[in-house]
Amino acid sequence: MQGLLDEQLPLLRYAPAETPVAQFDRQPDDIFLEIGFGGGENLAAVAATRPDAGFIGAEPFINGVASLIRHIDERELSNIRIWDDDVRLILGGMPDACLAGAYVLFPDPWPKRRHAARRILAPAVLDELARLVRPEGSLVLASDHPVAKSWLLQAACSHPDFRWTARRPVDWRTRPQALVPTRYMRKAERESRIPNWFLFERQPG
C-alpha cells in the first residue's frame, strides 16, 4: 500500500498553481470537487460513471488518500486528482465558476458550540463554493448527526447564492442515485443514526 501511495500520489496530486482543467489527461466536460472524501468510495464510484468529467478530491487523512489511490488503481481511473491537505488551501486559487458541483459528505460534526469554528462549512468556505460552482451547478451535503445537519442546512440555506431543492421529506431522506454509500455512512446506519442528503443549486446570476 505504501508503495502504491509513494508511486502514485506525486502523479495524481492536484497542483494549486495550475488551472484545474489543465490537470486532467483529456479536457473534462465538467469538474467536481469532493471535500473530505474519507476512504474515497464515493469519489471513485462517481468518477467511474463520468469518465468525461474531472474530479478533485481533498482529504488530509493519509490513510484515506491511500484508500482512494487503491480504488483508482483497481478501477483504472484517470480522471481524479488528489489534494492531500486542507481544502481551504486550494479554494482561493481556483477560477470562478470552474466547478459543475461540490460534495461535502458526512463532514466532522463538531457538535459543541465552542468547536463551531472548526466546522468545514464556515461562511468563508461557502462563499468560495458559491464563487466556484457555476450557475445551476450543485452543492451536495450529507450528515447523520443532528447538530451537523442543522449547521449544514443553516449555513447553505442562509447563503443567497444557493437554493435548497428539496420539496418533500423523501428528498432529504433518500441518497441521490449517483452517490454510493461511504464507509462513514454505513457506520452511521449500523449505529442507528439516520443519514440525510441536502441538495442545493447554485443560483444563476
Ligand X SMILES: C[S@@+](CC[C@H](N)C(=O)[O-])C[C@H]1O[C@@H](n2cnc3c(N)ncnc32)[C@H](O)[C@@H]1O
- Asked if 108 is part of the footprint of ligand X (rule: CB under 6 A), the reply reads yes
Choose the binding region for ligand X from 14-22, 102-110, 153-161, 189-197 (rule: CB under 6 A).
102-110
Cα(177)–Cα(153) distance, rounded to whole angstroms? Answer: 21
Q: Which is nearer to ligand X, 174 or 203 (CB)?
A: 174
The CA dihedral of 46, 17, 95, 25, to the nearest 10 degrees, is: -40
Q: Which is nearer to ligand X, 91 or 153 (CB)?
A: 91
Catalytic residue among 6, 29, 52, 108: 108
Maximum C-alpha span of the chain: 48
Instruction: Report, in angstroms and rounded to the nearest whole number, the Rg of the chain calculated over CA atoms.
Output: 16
Cα(185)–Cα(163) distance, rounded to whole angstroms? Answer: 24
Which residues, 6 or more positions from 26, have their beta carbon under 8 angstroms from its beta carbon?
A: none
Using CB under 6 A, which of 20, 54, 64, 101 touches ligand X? 64
Using CB under 6 A, which of 106, 151, 197, 200 touches ligand X? 106
- Asked if 182 is part of the footprint of ligand X (rule: CB under 6 A), the reply reads yes
- Asked if 161 is part of the footprint of ligand X (rule: CB under 6 A), the reply reads no
Residue holding cell 472548526? Answer: 118
Using CB under 6 A, which of 55, 151, 162, 184 touches ligand X? 184
Report in angstroms how near the CB of residue 101 gets to ligand X at its nearest.
15
Using CB under 6 A, which of 65, 120, 126, 199 touches ligand X? 120
Q: Which is nearer to ligand X, 184 or 198 (CB)?
A: 184
Cα(150)–Cα(34) distance, rounded to whole angstroms? Answer: 20
| Residues 22-41 within binding reach of ligand X (CB under 6 A) | 35-39
H-state helical runs in 101-159? 123-132, 146-157
Cα(154)–Cα(69) distance, rounded to whole angstroms? Answer: 34
Residues that bind ligand X (CB under 6 A): 35-39, 58-61, 64, 86-88, 105-108, 120, 182-185
Q: Which residues are catalytic?
A: 108
